[in-house]
Amino acid sequence: MLGVPLGAALGLSRFVGRWLVVIFIYTGMGLPPVVVGLFVYLMLSRTGPLGQLNSPLIPKLFTPGAMIAAQVILALPLIAGFTMAAVLAVDPQLRQQVRALGATSWQVALATVREARVGVLVAIIAGFGAIISEVGAVMMVGGNIAGKTRVVTTAIVLETGKGNFDLALALGIILLCIAFLINGTVLALQGRSGGL
């Protein structure tokens, strides 16, 4: 919801400072998850700048909200960067043709993103892959609390540490099956849209 519009806007528009935003996006694509976890932890801790604010809009540490915040920071640059690349790869003459037919700027943007849909789907899959496999950041800000913030990846780490390799392997297989099903569904949708 955030990365695709941001990437499309960066691919379609030119503005002062755009290069700086693109550098931040590219840098974000390689962020180490534990660094993101540390950043979110420090921001949301009681002594951190956001932790001092008592707002229901700001997630607390060791809650699913904090885990989601960390995963958004991890996935956003990937999705925005790959979407931007897909939009930039669309033939510029398409935009000229759509404008010549009387389309508004919004309609030109939609036509361009629609033409880049295969690349946009790849961007979404890359973002999904980054968050479904994430351990470091979610463990730091979520705490791996049973029944509250434990996710499959952190459960695998926990069970491996306890020597329960059978359970850890079973959880790993479940995680791979979930990823396979979701990616298969996206691929089927991509095929229906003419992308395959």
pLDDT surpassing 80 at residue 46: yes
- Tell me, letter by letter, the H, E, C secondary structure of the chain: CCHHHHHHHHHHCCCCCHHHHHHHHHHHCCCCHHHHHHHHHHHHCCCCCCCCCCCCCCCCCCCHHHHHHHHHHHHHHHHHHHHHHHHHCCCHHHHHHHHHCCCCHHHHHHHHHHHCHHHHHHHHHHHHHHHHCCCHHHHHHHCCCCCCCCCHHHHHHHHHHCCCHHHHHHHHHHHHHHHHHHHHHHHHHHHHCCCC
Q: pLDDT-derived band of residue 189, with 50, 70 and 90 as boundaries?
A: confident
pLDDT digits (tens, 9 = 90+) for 10-36: 999 999 999 999 999 999 999 999 999
Q: Which residue has the tokens 């932790």?
A: 51
The CATH code for residues 3-192 is 1.10.3720.10
Q: What tens digit of pLDDT does each residue of 120-164 get?
A: 999 999 999 999 999 999 999 999 999 999 999 999 999 999 999
Residue ranges per domain, the chain? 3-192
Q: Is the pTM of this model over 0.85?
A: yes
